[in-house]
Chain A
């Protein structure tokens, strides 16, 4: 188990190197000159050339890459061209919002997705199933920006229950109470994902329900509820676990729209703004961290498989 874990973590390294090369290459293919963006419309060609040299952007791309990667392996993602501060601290500023948003969203996904999915499966073919499936399709289909705007309109502007935008860090005044800023955004982000989990829990459970061992459980005289949870849902969880992993990773990138609608200072918004600013080091840094996040979640999902399914041996 431990040796499996170490082996898998070591396998991250070649993946990260390959990913970093691709990221570097593609970002430098984006048309537009960071120096020109930084200096604005009034800059003379001489100023731009001088700044380009200062930032090291006149060097051949392979030399820039080696320079950057040399920093990365020492834990230094470079300096933001725009903020003039270390990339790591720029990302760290957004990470609090993004992580809290993702965790809160996952909580909603589990709270709504799993029980409703189970209900839908155990009552399949009845009006309960049709109702929950209808809701699930509705929430999976509506765009998040629309849902976000309407939630703001009703709960923030109309009823005044929640703040409409921003997120003051919980280390600031207000502490954990500041989480209320994330309630509407997390619900917005959770809606389509919870809907998918409902559908997935339902279909996986219906598949498991056809298996022979469920008939064995019935023959033991267990109650339908016990069979549904202990024998059907428990086995369906193996298929659902992977979906949880990928949903969590995807939340970071999906959050871009939600963070924009709710003006949250998160990582998603940082990427978009950094692209517009041609802030290469920040974009590279964020994408590299997202790659690392995907790899880690993949590993966690695989470890979860080993735990959920005794037939899987982790070696």
Chain B
């Protein structure tokens, strides 16, 4: 069994009168030393999936309605809130999208970095400080000996995200969930942050789930990819396998919308249409209204997950038949 196994996860949000499903039948797994990328447009349910694994869903508005999340052989969804908190920040931790607002403005970064450590491990104050310095050095914060006493507003966005990474790694987690960790950063800083995460993985063997809307980021960093559309994983494979053999028209659309640096075209390829609203009930394949290969069958029946090759799964009636 892999470190993390998500089985038929189903998440619903409170609508006006009923619970609306946002994530359906979502299954994947990640193991030590592995990086899984979850990719999709805004609103596809990738962040909610991450929050569900982490245990950060607001129960009143978002609910896990079905499924299991196994971490180290234990189902997280069966645990009491207290047991869950013992895992959060310790065995698994999370990096968020907004480095500018994810740190508490009133505490020094050194204190925030070891806060999870203080919660989960008993040490002396000197040991906490040593660990904070070690973490800051590890994430390449310049002048870390001074920076440990800085407040978040005194750091740049990239530095704050490094602090977030240092914070997430303080207890040597087995699983690190990074929800759009580079989206809010300058392109030049993006690469450094991604490299840093991978470098740390090489050293510590942490499993990483990287959530992104950017196929470029995924291609650069992940061993495996799951493409989500409207709450379902519509295609998943090893990164190399996916890029070599795209089977779902939506995945092709995502890849085409990455501008090539050497192309002369003035227009970016975009997927036509828009992401359907939550309230819209879509029969069959959720992508059919936007799909240029759509057939009557697509609107009627939900495509089953087809296994193609060794580890390539796809939800499309015409997988393998289309010239993508």
Contact = CB atoms under 8 A, between A and B. Distances in A.
Interface of A: 211-213, 215-223, 231, 234-235, 238, 308-311
B103 A213 contact: yes
A309 B86 CA distance: 30
Given A222-B85, A222-B119, A311-B153, A217 B104 contact: yes
> What does DSSP make chain A's interface, helix, strand, loop or mixed?
helix
A234 B106 contact: yes
Given A212-B96, A215-B96, A220 B105 contact: no
A213 B54 contact: no
Q: Which of B104, B116, B164 has the most CB of A within 10 A?
A: B104
Interface of B: 54, 56, 85-90, 93-94, 96, 98, 101-106, 115-116, 119-120, 151, 153, 164, 167
Contacts of B104: 213, 216-217, 231, 235
Given A218-B56, A221-B90, A311 B105 contact: yes
Contacts of A309: 105-106
A220 B112 CA distance: 10
B101 A235 contact: no
A76 B255 CA distance: 83
Contacts of A212: 96, 98, 101-102
Contacts of A235: 104-106
Contacts, number: 67
A219 B106 contact: no
A311 to B, nearest CB: 5
A4 B227 CA distance: 57
B237 to A, nearest CB: 29
A220 B90 CA distance: 7
Contacts of A310: 105-106, 151, 153
B153 A222 contact: no
22 contacts: A212-B101, A213-B102, A213-B103, A213-B104, A216-B96, A216-B104, A219-B88, A220-B88, A220-B93, A222-B89, A231-B104, A235-B104, A235-B106, A238-B106, A308-B106, A309-B105, A309-B106, A310-B105, A310-B106, A310-B153, A311-B105, A311-B153
